[in-house]
Amino acid sequence: MFRRFRFLATVAGLCLAVGVMTTLVSYSVTLYRLFCQVTGAGGYTQRATVDTAARSDRTVTVSFNTDVAPGMPWRFVPVQRAVTVHLGEESLVFFEAENLSDHDIVGHATFNVTPDRVGLYFKKIQCFCFTEERLGTHQKVEMPVDFFVDPRMVADRDATDVHDIVLSYTFFESLKPKGAENLARFDNRPPDPASGRVLFATVCSACHEVDRNKVGPMLGGVVGRRAGSVPGYPYSTALAQSGVIWDAGTLDQWLAGPQHFVPGAEMPFSLPDAVRRRDVIAYLETLTPHAAKDQAASAAKQPPG
């Protein structure tokens, strides 16, 4: 009787062990993904709803790498190769995707950052990688990624020496296409001044401030102002004599191609994408001279991280 009991106990133990191992194998991918989400292992980035970090004087350069899976008929490239950002500074960058096929395709983007050890500090607020994404036949869109790098990274002995980060994406054809988001939403939405503010900080602030002249003239109160009229700024003769009054229409033409709009103008930068131009202009429309001073004062009060 004892031998029989011991035999049954052994069999039960073996069955339990097999069951546990089978369960672990079945859920190993999910468990590993959860582990990476929590710890940032493997360069897995984090997700945030808003940037609440204090802006630091420390900067990092974030470069972008893109790829598509073999057989995936998409062209997928970063609009900008790299941006230099302050830790804690919310930044908006764009990626262009084009469906080269004759049918709609739902894609899913995998992602990581290198060095792997900064995954815990790289936080995305908005990203096409959060959902399955549908791209129509021969459709081309620019997709935003809204992110910041947590300034707590400088307190991590394993990451304090990091000055360059690479954010990589690979698009695969989705295995779960049902209920996918439509990428056309990025082309069809109304102008968003909040996105324009982040985009201004990312691509315009190297040359412009809202309350003082920099490489370019101050932009507080630019809407309704005559071109070339900010005191103390050395405008090109072409712009100073253009007679242009800045409004949504003239700013759109200017940002689309400064030299084309005002021959002889010296501004070297343009925004080819109409959606991004509308966002930036919507933000500039909020910058009355009084609002510009208030925003500058608010930014000055933020403690460095």
- Please spell the DSSP secondary structure of 134-166, one letter per residue: EE-TT-EEEEEEEEEE-GGGGG-TTTTT--EEE
Q: Coil, strand or helix: which one is 46?
A: strand
Q: Coil, strand or helix: which one is 65?
A: strand
Two tokens at 200? 């201004």
Q: Whole-angstrom distance between the N-terminal and C-terminal Cα of the chain?
A: 72
Residue 108 has pLDDT above 80, yes or no: yes
Same domain flag for 12 and 63: no
Same domain flag for 96 and 173: yes
Rounded percentage of the chain residues whose pLDDT exceeds 90:
70
CB atoms within 10 A of CB 238: 16
Same domain flag for 161 and 122: yes
**pLDDT tens per residue, range 50-73:** 888 889 999 999 999 999 999 999
Same domain flag for 277 and 240: yes
Please tell me the least confidently modeled range out of 2-16, 157-171, 181-195: 2-16
Residue 224 has pLDDT above 50, yes or no: yes
**pLDDT tens per residue, range 127-140:** 999 999 999 999 99
Same domain flag for 137 and 174: yes
pTM flag (> 0.75): no
Same domain flag for 90 and 178: yes
Q: Which of 120, 93, 144 is nearest to 36 (CA)?
A: 120
**End position of a domain, from candidates 153, 186, 219:** 186
- Provide mean pLDDT across the span 185-210: 90
Q: What is the CATH number of the domain that holds 136?
A: 2.60.370.10
Residues 133 and 107: beta-carbon distance below 8 Å: yes
Same domain flag for 148 and 236: no
Predicted confidence at residue 44, as pLDDT, reads 86
Predicted confidence at residue 1, as pLDDT, reads 55
Question: Domain count of the chain?
Answer: 3
ω into residue 231 within 30 of 0, thus cis? Answer: no
- Provide mean pLDDT across the span 157-177: 94
**End position of a domain, from candidates 152, 186, 220:** 186
Same domain flag for 123 and 218: no
Please name the amino acid found at residue 85. V
Same domain flag for 165 and 283: no
Residue 27 has pLDDT above 60, yes or no: no
Predicted confidence at residue 289, as pLDDT, reads 64
The secondary element (H helix, E strand) that includes residue 27 is none
Alpha carbons 221 and 215: distance in angstroms, whole number: 17
Q: pLDDT band at 75, cuts 50/70/90?
A: very high
Residues 109 and 180: beta-carbon distance below 8 Å: no
More confident residue, 29 or 61: 61
Q: pLDDT band at 118, cuts 50/70/90?
A: very high
Alpha carbons 142 and 97: distance in angstroms, whole number: 6
Q: pLDDT band at 288, cuts 50/70/90?
A: confident
Q: What is the CATH number of the domain that holds 223?
A: 1.10.760.10
Q: Coil, strand or helix: which one is 143?
A: strand
Residues 143 and 78: beta-carbon distance below 8 Å: no
Same domain flag for 115 and 200: no
Predicted confidence at residue 52, as pLDDT, reads 85
Residue 290 has pLDDT above 90, yes or no: no
Predicted confidence at residue 160, as pLDDT, reads 87
Spatial CB neighbours of 249, under 8 Å, sequence gap ≥ 6: none
Same domain flag for 9 and 84: no
Residue 153 has pLDDT above 50, yes or no: yes
Residue 32 has pLDDT above 70, yes or no: no
**End position of a domain, from candidates 186, 203, 227:** 186
Same domain flag for 52 and 29: no
Q: Which of 150, 121, 139, 224 is nearest to 188 (CA)?
A: 139
Domain coverage including residue 120: 46-186
The strand pairing partners of 134, in sequence order, are 106, 182
- Provide mean pLDDT across the span 153-170: 94
Predicted confidence at residue 30, as pLDDT, reads 34
